[in-house]
Structure 1
């Protein structure tokens, strides 16, 4: 079943169109990054310590960075692959035929998820290698082993991030019988977390900000609560995890007091420390994915499947 689902996705026009759009957007971000790096090197304003990683994070201002494109357009791949995973089978009458075979229900839902996640992994790894290859060809600067490992860790985090949206869309495909309804539900949540959620948190922040005369503990507590609210969004978790992996100079994802800053050595973190710093964000995205999959599994196991006459 996994092989069949994987092949069906590869041969679909929907997947081809999405990949074409995302590939063009990524090539544009590579051009903007190369332009920014070349301008910074000529003016001696660009740090060349991790120059190759800047292919993913730098931009000249005309287009967003590669990480931004993956964060914004990556969920579209997950939604497109999962919004009709179950309801289309049910509407066509093929679901009852599949369930009449010696096939467990959990194998069916696992095959749908596994095939789509494998395809997402192939796409994101291919895009990551495309950026690395074009960067090596254009700037002529080979990556260090640590930079290659950081890029691979970034791609793994991106697969988990897109996998969450895949699981969410599969959940909607089980809950709603119409494919259009499940697609609109997934796109609505994607827009909400990508655009409106940060606005809502900013409004809450402005309404609950303590006064300047408040104690340090009160102000730090407020900042931690706002961080906790922001981290409900998978997009925010993804941005925090990727910033630590692709920007070794990032040493903390929360507020630091003066006592914590004094005496700190201004140097990039090693890869192991960057992974430890981004580990809670990765675990949070995995937990959200598992929650969506668990709800999908329970709903599908409890649904009644009837053959259509």
Structure 2
């Protein structure tokens, strides 16, 4: 059979095959039929195979193992006779520190923003600079599929990694100390992992927003890191200066002192790291009964017992709502800016 006849009998390439080929995939048979799934699978593959993800996951795993080793070597000293927190022995694996290495949840609060920023700072501008953005958008697919797939792929990778690390800590702790977690402890750890995913998603959406607004990937990365450094270091210094300048006199009534402390605490809660720290501390330390200053009348007569899971969730509900709200706002802004963005290469 001649070459011309072969070409005539060869089936015409569909637009979905062209989309898969433009994304670096062999054909649509290698992926799901829906174009959104095609882009999500491609983005997950690129993230997992990238060197930056391998370096970050290596750092996070090493710090996780280091914090777990510190917790296991000092868990005997953390158990005190008569302490109501001894009922939640397994949670101490995530909170104990001897001062040489921070605890597990402190590492997550420090490295989580870096993970989110690194996965999203070049989500859009790198595609535009390489010319692949206009090529993908030339296919008959919805424009919002791309940015939604970018977020879905990154949050999927983050969720799998965080659940794997959390269950790794629980598994190693179970094997070494030989004490299984209670159902309430297990649920507290699961809620802590979910909260950590939302916290990293906040920084992921912020970095995607900078990736949409700035054309250069280096500029968007520096913008994300600058915001993280401001809220991690400089914002606390600014709040301390405000607290010192507005401090009431020593002989002031108690209500003025409590009001001043609430004012400073409200300023601190404008920082996402403060919200995450308060929420994780309450979830992993059931002995925490309040997140604000208490008067002597409120403390007098209280029984020093740990809070049940439902009460702890009610206590951290404002912090969790604030983190989710900031995440949604950042994603909405990046979505709107991307839908109005000029995607043609210059």
3-state SS of paired residue (1:249): coil
For 1:280 and 1:123, the matched residues in 2 are separated by 26
CA contact (8 A) 1:35 1:60 kept: no
Moved more, 205-214 or 147-156: 205-214
For 1:150 and 1:39, the matched residues in 2 are separated by 23
CA contact (8 A) 2:129 2:345 kept: no
Which residue number in structure 1 is paired with residue 320 of structure 2? Answer: 282
Equivalent of residue 271 in structure 1, options 309, 315, 321? 309
Deviations for 1:97-141, whole angstroms, at most 9, x for unmatched residues? 111112222221111111101111111111101110111112111
Moved more, 12-21 or 294-303: 294-303
Structure with greater Cα Rg: 2
Residue 44 of structure 1 deviates from its aligned partner by: 5.6
Which residue number in structure 2 is paired with residue 11 of structure 1? Answer: 49
- Unaligned runs of 5+ residues in structure 2 are 1-38
3-state SS of paired residue (1:27): helix
3-state SS of paired residue (1:48): helix
CA contact (8 A) 2:78 2:96 kept: no
Equivalent of residue 200 in structure 1, options 235, 238, 249? 238
Which residue number in structure 2 is paired with residue 116 of structure 1? Answer: 154
- Unaligned runs of 5+ residues in structure 1 are none
Question: Is 1:81 matched up with 2:116?
Answer: no
RMSD (Å) for aligned C-alpha atoms: 1.5
Deviations for 1:127-184, whole angstroms, at most 9, x for unmatched residues? 1011101111121111111100000000000000000000010011111111111111
TM-score under structure 1 normalisation?
0.96
3-state SS of paired residue (2:298): helix
3-state SS of paired residue (2:93): helix
For 1:162 and 1:181, the matched residues in 2 are separated by 20
CA contact (8 A) 2:258 2:294 kept: no
Question: Is 1:128 matched up with 2:166?
Answer: yes
Equivalent of residue 185 in structure 2, options 116, 136, 147? 147
Residue 35 of structure 1 deviates from its aligned partner by: 1.1
Which residue number in structure 2 is paired with residue 246 of structure 1? Answer: 284
For 1:64 and 1:240, the matched residues in 2 are separated by 16
Which residue number in structure 1 is paired with residue 221 of structure 2? Answer: 183
Question: Is 1:299 matched up with 2:337?
Answer: yes
For 1:44 and 1:37, the matched residues in 2 are separated by 13
For 1:242 and 1:303, the matched residues in 2 are separated by 38
For 2:168 and 2:81, the matched residues in 1 are separated by 27
Equivalent of residue 223 in structure 1, options 241, 254, 261? 261
For 1:228 and 1:14, the matched residues in 2 are separated by 36
3-state SS of paired residue (1:53): helix
For 1:44 and 1:220, the matched residues in 2 are separated by 32
Which residue number in structure 1 is paired with residue 175 of structure 2? Answer: 137
Which residue number in structure 1 is paired with residue 144 of structure 2? Answer: 106
For 2:246 and 2:253, the matched residues in 1 are separated by 15
For 1:70 and 1:151, the matched residues in 2 are separated by 13
TM-score under structure 2 normalisation?
0.86
Deviations for 1:29-84, whole angstroms, at most 9, x for unmatched residues? 0011111103445x869753111000000012211000110000111110111000
For 1:256 and 1:217, the matched residues in 2 are separated by 10
For 2:330 and 2:150, the matched residues in 1 are separated by 14
Residue 21 of structure 1 deviates from its aligned partner by: 0.6
Matches within 5 A, 1:161-180: 161-180=199-218
Number of equivalenced pairs? 307
